[in-house]
């Protein structure tokens, strides 16, 4: 009989020639457990999904209760389903006031697609501006606005009338004009290697969009739900977008995405033509129940508020000759190493040190730190000791890249 690892390679479509290939049987809190009982500290949260930790009892309970009532009943937007309406109203309570109308989808990429269509439809314009080194997903629209030429080029032709400008470059905001439907931005760039906005950059972007009638879209798919030390980066920087995109932690470990805007803007999707944007599974009741329970946990356990002290502890403990910088906000961190070869070694060998670690898509000189927000001080100390041992190993054994 073939092992699961052999079946994985034989029957699953692969995303790269070098998957991590670590077998996992169960998960609890910040830990993943292998079939041999080996325990790994999850420093990634699959990326920024498990903000409340794995298998939180309140999330598992909400899922079980909902499964006992019903699962999928009908395409999105026809029936009144309690988990959907309760979660949408809960989100409206904690988001900036104008972001009060939620369109649920299944994933981050789909939230991006919906928002781009909404912006075109509402403004009657077609131009979309995004940022170099931005990541917004892998579907065709999301790929068209992704800030990496390497990935875009491989799949042309893509969406026309899309332009990329530089994050934190105030002058490039002049390219936003009355022909621009929307600007989409990650308030903190994730896959670029955790790049925080310079003081005033998001405010200037907001002003330029308001002055030109351009919709400002915040992709908070990674930054959302407490990860930056605030519930949303919009709160952290005190800038409200016209549309916010949520996914990843939105579903509390279940697949869920959303684009959220004002009732006025959102109404552009429901007529002329009606059913211009539809989804079968978007806002799946089980995913909404899980997400709503996870959001309550984030609030009740003050996970956003406790993030900054945890971030400081990582920064204090992660001192090593291979580390040049630990940057980011809250528990959305990049550990900058002295070279690419060390990053490759660290990610490939982390499992030997009981850690799950990962790369960034567009920054090959840093490793990602995005543990569940529930991680305790003791667990942070344990993770840092294991990481420092791994870095010692890397400094001796990493092969010259
Ligand atoms: N936007 C950002 C900022 C992301 O980090 C991601 C996924 O990593 C996406 C969009 C796409 O989300 P999904 O993988 O759920 O389609």
Q: How far is CA 222 from CA 31, 191, 348, in A?
A: 21, 10, 23
From the alpha carbon of 223, which atom of ligand 1 is closest? 3
In this structure, the chain runs to a length of 401
pLDDT tens per residue, range 248-272: 999 999 999 999 999 999 999 999 9
Pocket test for ligand 1, best of 221, 225, 246 (most atoms within 8 A of CB): 221
d(CA 142, ligand 1 centre) in Å: 9
Q: How far does the centroid of ligand 1 lie from the alpha carbon of residue 15, in Å? A: 15
pTM over 0.85: yes
Q: What pLDDT, on a 0 to 100 scale, did the predictor assign at position 401?
A: 44
* Cβ(222) – ligand 1 distance below 6 Å: yes
Distance 400 CA to ligand 1 centre (A): 32
Domain with CATH 3.90.1150.10 in the chain: 4-55+303-397
Positions of CATH 3.40.640.10 in the chain: 57-300
Span 31-40, pLDDT tens digits: 999 999 999 9
In this prediction, the residues of the chain whose per-residue pLDDT falls under 70 are 400-401
> CB of 108 closer than 6 A to ligand 1?
yes
Residue keyed to tokens 């070694």: 345
Ligand 1 centroid, distance to 69 Cα (angstroms): 30
Residue bearing the CA closest to ligand 1, atom 12? 108
CATH class of the domain comprising 57-300: alpha beta
Listed in sequence order, the residues at least 6 apart from 40 whose beta carbon sits closer than 8 Å to its beta carbon are 22, 24, 31, 32, 33, 34, 351, 354, 355, 356
Structure tokens belonging to residue 56: 């939180």
pLDDT score, position 400:
55
- Ligand 1 center to 110 CA (angstroms): 9
Select from 106, 137, 142 the residue to mutate for testing ligand 1; criterion: most ligand atoms less than 8 Å from CB: 137
Q: Does domain 4-55+303-397 have CATH number 3.40.50.300?
A: no
Instruction: Answer yes or no: are the C-beta atoms of 73 and 79 closer than 8 Å.
Output: yes
The pLDDT value given to residue 170: 98
**Residue keyed to tokens 């060390």:** 342
């Amino acid at each position: 009989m073939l092992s699961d690892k052999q079946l994985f390679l034989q029957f699953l479509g692969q995303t790269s020639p070098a998957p991590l290939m670590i077998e996992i049987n169960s998960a609890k809190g910040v830990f993943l457990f292998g079939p041999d009982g080996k325990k790994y500290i999850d420093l990634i949260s699959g990326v920024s999904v498990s903000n409340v930790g794995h298998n939180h009892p309140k999330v598992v309970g909400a899922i079980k209760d909902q499964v006992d009532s019903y699962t999928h009943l009908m395409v999105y937007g026809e029936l009144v389903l309690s988990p959907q309406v309760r979660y949408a109203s809960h989100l409206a309570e904690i988001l900036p006031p104008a972001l009060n109308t939620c369109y649920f989808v299944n994933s981050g990429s789909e939230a991006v697609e919906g928002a781009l269509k909404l912006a075109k439809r509402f403004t009657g314009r077609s131009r979309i501006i995004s940022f170099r080194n931005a990541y917004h997903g892998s579907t065709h629209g999301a790929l068209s606005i992704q800030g990496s030429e390497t990935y875009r080029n491989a799949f042309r032709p893509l969406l026309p009338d899309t332009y990329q400008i530089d994050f934190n470059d105030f002058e490039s905001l002049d390219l936003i004009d009355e022909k621009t439907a929307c600007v989409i931005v990650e308030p903190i760039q994730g896959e670029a290697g955790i790049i925080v906005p310079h003081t005033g950059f998001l405010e200037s972007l907001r002003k330029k969009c308001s002055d030109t009638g351009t919709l400002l879209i915040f992709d908070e798919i990674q930054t959302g739900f407490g990860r930056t030390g605030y519930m949303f980066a919009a709160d952290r920087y005190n800038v409200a977008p016209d549309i916010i995109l949520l996914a990843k932690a939105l579903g509390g470990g279940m697949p869920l995405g959303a684009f959220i805007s004002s009732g006025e803007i959102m109404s552009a999707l429901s007529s002329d033509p009606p059913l211009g944007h539809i989804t079968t599974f978007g806002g799946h009741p089980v995913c909404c129940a899980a997400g709503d329970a996870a959001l309550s946990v984030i609030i009740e356990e003050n996970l956003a508020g406790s993030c900054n002290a945890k971030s400081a502890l990582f920064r204090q403990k992660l001192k090593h000759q291979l580390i040049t910088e630990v940057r980011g906000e809250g528990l959305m961190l990049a550990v900058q190493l002295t070279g690419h070869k060390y990053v490759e070694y660290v990610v490939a060998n982390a499992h030997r040190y009981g850690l799950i670690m990962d790369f960034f898509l567009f920054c090959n000189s840093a490793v990602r730190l995005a543990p569940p927000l529930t991680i305790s001080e003791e667990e942070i100390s344990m993770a840092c000791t294991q990481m420092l041992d791994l870095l010692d190993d890397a400094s001796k054994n990493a092969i010259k890249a």
